[in-house]
Amino acid sequence: MSQRILQLETLLGVSLFQRSYHDVALTPSGMELLEKAQLVVDAHDGLVLLALRGHIAGGVRLGIAEDYVLPMLPQLLRSLRHRLPGVELSVVTGLSRQLCQQVEARSLDLAVVTLPHVLPQAEILAQPPLQWVASPEFALPEDGIWPFAFFPDGCAFRLAATRRLIEAGVRHRVALVSANGQVIQAAVAADLAVTVMAAGTLPSSLRMLTEQSGLPELPQTCIQIVTRAQGLSPAMREVKAIVSELW
């Protein structure tokens, strides 16, 4: 492989990689060539799909923010099984900002994320209000301090909730932090804490807290699907369309 890269560099008359003892990175010429090469590869994939007489196949790498894995993924997988049986889907979950970085780095093709602002290369799926969520049996502790379960720092929901709590002067503490949505829901179901979720994503085992609870009103959030900058294959475009339909 190294010999072939050297031959390519000789043919083009430019250095594609910056090499050091511990690291190898693309040069500006290498980055430019990578973008153009990706277009060629995607065009090739499109021709192959055309030769298959419209049968859409191939791999799609999809990121889903932890908040939406359980509400969205079962429906998405059912639709793919019926409409795109030849597509191989790889799903990555995580915090929205991390997923956006992976799309930018092209390690993901698409990602469903929640951020307070609309990103370039993004399509808005929904703008639901955020809601305080607790178990049906939850009661405020005797000390009057609200316990919360949040995703780690960098989560848009956590930032919005914390800002409103501080503005309203609500005494609170963080009882649990986890990057796993199921862990947070388990903590809420066990009456350990209250959390924040987007309207329409609450599981039936939990309830929304109303204004009478004493907690401040929360803002809307922006659910959006972001895509890599160039060269979506037919399979990627179809998966994106199905995700959009689910909202």
Segment 153-166, tens digit of pLDDT: 888 899 999 999 99
Are 127 and 222 a contacting pair, CB within 8 Å? yes
Instruction: Kindly tell me if the per-residue pLDDT of 131 is higher than 90.
Output: yes
Residues 119 and 231 in one domain: yes
Copy the structure tokens of residue 21.
Answer: 């003892």
197-232 pLDDT, tens digit per residue, is 999 888 889 999 988 899 999 999 999 999 987 778
> Using 50, 70 and 90 to split pLDDT, how confident is the model at 53?
very low
Residues 142 and 115 in one domain: no
Are 197 and 151 a contacting pair, CB within 8 Å? no
Q: Which residue has the higher pLDDT, 23 or 51?
A: 23
Residues 107 and 226 in one domain: yes
pLDDT score at 61: 95
Looking at residue 193, its amino acid is A
pLDDT score at 233: 87
Residues 136 and 211 in one domain: yes
**Count of domains forming the chain:** 3
Residues 166 and 244 in one domain: no
Three-state DSSP class for residue 165: helix
Q: What angle do CA 210, 216, 219 make, to 5 degrees?
A: 95
179-190 pLDDT, tens digit per residue, is 998 999 999 999
- The rounded distance, in Å, linking the Cα atoms of 115 and 122 is 11
What CATH number does residue 18 fall under? 1.10.10.10
- Angle of helix 234-246 relative to helix 28-51, nearest 10 degrees, comes to 80
Residues 23 and 100 in one domain: no
Residues 170 and 106 in one domain: no
Query: Which structural domain range is residue 21 located in?
Result: 1-53
Cα distances from 48 to residues 84, 90, 103, 143, in angstroms, run 16, 21, 25, 66
Residues 151 and 205 in one domain: yes
Q: Express as a percent the part of the chain with pLDDT over 90.
A: 50
What CATH number does residue 152 fall under? 3.40.190.10
Copy the structure tokens of residue 188.
Answer: 């809420």
Residues 63 and 112 in one domain: yes
Residues 86 and 195 in one domain: no
143-155 pLDDT, tens digit per residue, is 999 999 999 988 8
Residues 216 and 140 in one domain: yes
